[in-house]
Amino acid sequence: MHDLNPLYLVGFSIVTLWLIGKILARAAKRISNVQSLRRRAQILKKTSIEIVPGLHVGGLDERLSNELSGLMNKKDELKTAIFLAIHRPIFYEIEDFIDKLREQFTFLVGVNADEASEFDKISAANSLQIPQHPQTFRFNKLNRSELRMLYEYDPDTLPVIDKELIDKFGGLLFLENFIMYDHLCLEKPAIFHIPKDNELRRLFETFTKNGLALQGKDISLRDRLYVLNLEQLQDLAKEVKITREFKNKAEATAALAEIPSSSVLLSTIYPASELFLLVDEPRDVKKIEREWGVLSLYAKLLCAESLDAKG
């Protein structure tokens, strides 16, 4: 067996030390960022409103602060989360608590959290020491998995949920409607027959109003024809004197769309006003779901906090 070259060992040691130094530098930078955010929060806290004893909120005027208090007192977590998405207030004591967890987590992981393995993240999360918090707080309403969702969420992430998105997808039930929209858009084309008595009719009309769907003759004839199955398309072809057999719907709809009378015949089966085509807009489903999860946890904390303050 040959001895390892001393120069090789020296080189290996240098590279190892360089990697360790880089990892520690990243961790130190993230911890420094957390501390910087905390100092900034302490400065801003001087201009905040004490919404309940021991909990200060920034970024809201008195009217909005009272509106939020009302939602918290009603324990309405859904409307509270919607409020948070639209107005984006800062809750200083909550942020300080989460920052302390984030700082611990960053130190325990030892690298950029995005680059750490799931095993390392779970190990770090399980090793966290939950800091003491004022008795008026009810952080014990959140389990470790929920707390992890909060401290792993990057506070510098640009929000994607705003009033425009919420209104576009129907208000309070926007997330449910958004998920349904995303699922239905998997159809290509996403053409649907929605008669007036269908329970989804109002939702599809909302989609149309907000530019997420087309209705009736605003949809191209070829796309409207896609609502028929292949057998129906073949029967329709015979009506317009096309005798050849079609291999698939794409071939059939392309041929029938060239014949104007196909539109009249289609309307005898499905009136044009009952047809809707979803417009497939770009979207980041995972990002929206994750952000809504964080907002919902804040709402859960706030509504529990209000109860505790009353008690």
Among residues 134, 156, 125, 148, which one has the least CA distance to residue 50? Answer: 134
Please tell me the predicted confidence (pLDDT) of residue 307: 54
3-state class (DSSP) for residue 153: coil
Report whether pLDDT(10) > 50: no
Please tell me the predicted confidence (pLDDT) of residue 4: 42
User: Over pLDDT 70: what percentage of the chain?
Assistant: 79
**In the chain, domain spans:** 6-160+288-310, 164-278
Among residues 58, 46, 75, 92, which one has the least CA distance to residue 302? Answer: 75
186-199 pLDDT, tens digit each: 999 999 999 999 99
Please tell me the predicted confidence (pLDDT) of residue 135: 56
Mean pLDDT (the chain, rounded)? 85
Place of tokens 């109860």: 307
Please tell me the predicted confidence (pLDDT) of residue 306: 59
Dump the DSSP string for 26-87: HHHHHHHHHHHHHHHHHHHGGG-EEEETTEEEES--HHHHHHHHHHHHTT-HHHHHHHHHHH
Better-predicted residue by pLDDT, 5 or 133: 133
Report the pLDDT averaged over residues 209-227.
97
137-191 pLDDT, tens digit each: 667 788 889 999 999 999 888 999 999 999 999 999 999 999 999 999 999 999 9
Report the pLDDT averaged over residues 219-239.
96
Better-predicted residue by pLDDT, 264 or 106: 264
Report whether pLDDT(308) > 90: no
Report whether pLDDT(8) > 70: no
Better-predicted residue by pLDDT, 47 or 289: 289
Output DSSP code: residue 270: S
Report whether pLDDT(88) > 60: yes
Better-predicted residue by pLDDT, 42 or 48: 48
pTM: predicted TM-score of the whole model, two decimal places: 0.78
Beta-carbon contacts of residue 49 (< 8 Å; ≥ 6 apart): 56, 57, 58, 60, 62, 65
